[in-house]
Amino acid sequence: MRAAILKEPGRIEVCEVSRPVPTEGEVLVRIKAALTCGTDLKAYLRGHSLIPMPGPFGHEFSGVVVEKGRGVRKFNIGDPVMGVHSAPCLKCPYCRRRLHNLCSHIMTTKVLGSFAEYMLIPRHIVDQNLYKKPSDIGFDEAAFLEPLACVVHGLQPLRISAKDTVLIIGAGPIGLLHLLLAKTKGARVLIADLGKKRLKTALSLGADSVFNAEKTAGSVNAFTEGLGADYVFECTGSPEVWQESVKYVRKGGTVVLFGGCRKGTTVTYNTARLHYDEITLKGTFHFTPADVKSAFLLLKNRAIDVRKLISGTCSLHTLQNTLVKLSRGEGIKYTVRP
């Protein structure tokens, strides 16, 4: 089978590799749609600690079951499916505390390789985080399950309501998914970004106000009459923006730090601002099976429409060119059709 192999930062090769054979509890999926992602882009540009090189990559997918191992009863050959690339072990100390996203083994047992003709789904993922795709949503939409589950994990527990103002910093795919989910809560949503096209997309998706990121402080103050946002979501992964984000939240508000920064980076906060204004800083990472189920239902019930986030399609052979385009700020997400 053909697979895109990330050889080193800046170099992808399409190679012929052995087609996997599912063993007990596993399924083999023929990939119909695989989405580009910010993590893939980081790995391509500079490497990533969670994506070994040289090796397969890509982890947002949907497809059709073409083979299954012994004991698989939830799925049949020919079933269209949508899933994510990891699942908790259910046995480690974190899993016993129901902190499934922080499972000690979740990153070492994940599966990569959706940028290929076929992808083998291990038993623990088949059992917990693989779903039959509803017939009325397309494969491209179904492939949003993984990034949407990440967004659900950080936003859903906050109980955002129609009385709240939400500021999202960064109008990339993750920022726009935050926008879509926050609007289902009835919140007023502000978006800051440096890209005019992305801000235009945010407006088309229902943002109440968009503005150049360099004007964030004045724009937030004007919109909230000096109060500040109730919730701020940092979706850029820039340490500088992590630090600035606390300036835009009201007293008693919450800042959610979603964007992952380079390993080893640090930030500094004004202790008086955090202490006397009772600011909550909240990190968020990955997702739980419950988050995946919530994301599945959002897509299944069409509570959100992710189709405008797809900027185009590409093949395995044009994937590298597509990642270069994304690095230049051209587009939001692309569908790879192996």
**pLDDT band, very low/low/confident/very high, at 59 (cuts 50, 70, 90):** very high
pLDDT computed for residue 76 by the predictor: 97
pLDDT digits (tens, 9 = 90+) for 72-82: 999 999 999 99
Nearest to 224 by CA among 267, 263, 253: 253
| Among the ranges given (110-124, 137-151, 178-192, 258-272), the one the predictor scored with the smallest mean pLDDT | 258-272
| Cα 32 from Cα 264, distance rounded (Å) | 37
* Size (the chain), residues: 338
Tell me: domain 2-144+306-336, CATH 3.90.180.10, correct? yes
Q: What is the pLDDT of residue 267?
A: 95
- Domain locations in the chain as residue ranges: 2-144+306-336, 150-283
Mean pLDDT for the stretch of residues 258-269:
92
Please, which pLDDT band fits residue 142 given cuts at 50, 70 and 90? very high
Residue 262 has pLDDT above 90, yes or no: no
Q: Which tens digit of pLDDT belongs to each residue from 279-299?
A: 999 999 999 999 999 999 999
What percent of the chain is modeled with pLDDT above 90?
Answer: 95
Interatomic CA distance for residues 100 and 124, integer angstroms: 13
Local confidence band at 235 (pLDDT 50, 70, 90 cut-offs) = very high
Protein fold of 150-283: Rossmann fold (3.40.50)
Q: What pLDDT does 107 receive?
A: 95
Indicate if 150-283 has the same CATH topology as 2-144+306-336: no
Q: How high is the pLDDT of residue 48?
A: 85
Is the Cα torsion angle 163, 166, 172, 178 positive or negative in sign? negative
| 68: pLDDT strictly greater than 90 | yes
| Res. 95 pLDDT band, cuts 50 70 90 | very high
pLDDT band with cut points at 50, 70 and 90 for residue 263: confident
How far is residue 61's CA from residue 304's CA, in Å, rounded to a whole number? 18
- pLDDT the model gives residue 214: 96
Encode the chain in three state secondary structure: CEEEEEEECCEEEEEECCCCCCCCCCEEEEEEEEECCHHHHHHHHHCECCECCCEECCCEEEEEEEEECCCCCCCCCCCEEEECCCCCCCCCHHHHCCCHHHCCCCCCCCCCCCCECEEEECHHHHHHHEEECCCCCCHHHHCCHHHHHHHHHHHHHHCCCCCCEEEEECCCHHHHHHHHHHHHCCCEEEEEECCHHHHHHHHHCCCCEEEEHHHHHHHHHHHHCCCCEEEEEECCCCHHHHHHHHHHEEEEEEEEECCCCCCCCCCCCCHHHHHHCCCEEEECCCCCHHHHHHHHHHHHCCCCCCHHHEEEEECCCCHHHHHHHHHCCCCCEEEECC
212 pLDDT exceeds 90? yes
pLDDT tens digit sequence for 312-327? 999 999 999 999 999 9
Q: What is the predicted pLDDT for the residue at 63?
A: 98
- pLDDT band of residue 172 (cuts 50, 70, 90) is very high
Across the chain, mean pLDDT equals: 96
pLDDT (mean) for 241-260: 97
What pLDDT does residue 60 have? 98
Q: How confident is the model at residue 58 (pLDDT cuts 50, 70, 90)?
A: very high
Residue type, 138: G
